[in-house]
């Protein structure tokens, strides 16, 4: 997959800031946007300024990750923004899932400005809009829709369970009648029959 791109609003060097993200997935049956569960996922945010070594944030170094809600935040202290050079820094957000698959989900730029500014803050931009959207918050938050990794074992199992969970007994032709006949013929034990009756017929 190609990562979404997003340009954060500029930050004045020496000001407190934050880079915050919400990762979402699209549920394959209902097409609803749901939280991307980051449990047991590695998360890495890299900042790269021209001519400077990369600054890497992860769970153990600077990132705040809320697994169940797909929330990732990188607070930037005043000292941290002052330590970044003026100008554009590239960033990359990537995750490593439980199958060991590494995916870059978002890239873009963040601009650090010195005061006084010679030009006004430039407009922020997101592309594509449906994949990365700026949300109103005390600090700017980006919502990113992350396509699930097709073809991995964990994803195949998850999708199968998701589809099966939507199936009702009456969607399978003849199944209700067949179960009723097997119970009547004694092909299903009395104990099993009571369970089947409870599950199937309520």
Q: What is the pLDDT of residues 48-84, one digit of tens each?
A: 988 888 889 999 998 999 988 888 999 889 998 888 8
pLDDT in tens, 28-40: 666 677 788 889 9
Task: Tell me how far apart the alpha carbons of residues 198 and 201 are, in angstroms, rounded to a whole number.
Answer: 6
Residues 13 and 103 in one domain: yes
Q: What percent of the chain has pLDDT over 90?
A: 13
Question: In the chain, what percentage of residues exceed pLDDT 70?
Answer: 61
The answer to whether residue 158 sits within a structural domain is no
Q: Supply the range of the domain harboring residue 117.
A: 4-148
Residue 153 maps to a domain = no
Q: Give the C-alpha separation, 21 to 149, whole Å.
A: 19
Q: Are residues 99 and 180 in the same domain?
A: no
Q: Which of 15-19, 39-43, 136-140, 198-202 has the highest mean pLDDT?
A: 39-43
82 with 175, same domain?
A: no
* Confidence band for 43, pLDDT divided at 50, 70 and 90: very high
Shared domain check, 99 and 29: yes
Among 18, 13, 33, 8, residue whose Cα is nearest residue 117: 13
Are 27 and 60 part of one and the same domain?
A: yes
| 192 plus 123 within the same structural domain | no
Question: What is the reported pLDDT for 94?
Answer: 92
């Amino acid at each position: 997959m190609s990562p979404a791109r997003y340009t954060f609003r500029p930050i004045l060097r020496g000001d407190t800031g934050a880079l915050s993200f919400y990762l979402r997935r699209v549920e394959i049956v209902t097409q609803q946007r749901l939280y991307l569960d980051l449990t047991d996922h590695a998360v890495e945010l890299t900042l790269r300024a021209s001519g400077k070594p990369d600054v890497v944030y992860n769970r153990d170094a600077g990132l705040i990750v809320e697994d169940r809600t797909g929330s990732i935040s990188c607070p930037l202290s005043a000292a941290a923004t002052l330590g970044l050079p003026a100008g554009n820094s590239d960033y990359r957000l990537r995750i490593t899932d439980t199958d060991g698959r590494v995916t870059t989900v978002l890239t873009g730029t963040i601009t650090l400005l010195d005061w006084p500014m010679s030009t006004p803050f430039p407009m922020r931009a997101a592309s594509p809009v449906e994949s990365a959207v700026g949300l109103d918050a005390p600090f700017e938050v980006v919502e990113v829709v992350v396509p699930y990794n097709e073809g991995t074992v964990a994803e195949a199992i998850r999708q199968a369970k998701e589809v099966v969970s939507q199936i009702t007994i009456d969607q399978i032709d003849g199944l209700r009648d067949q179960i009723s006949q097997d119970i009547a013929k004694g092909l299903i034990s009395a104990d099993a029959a009571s369970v089947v009756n409870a599950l199937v017929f309520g």
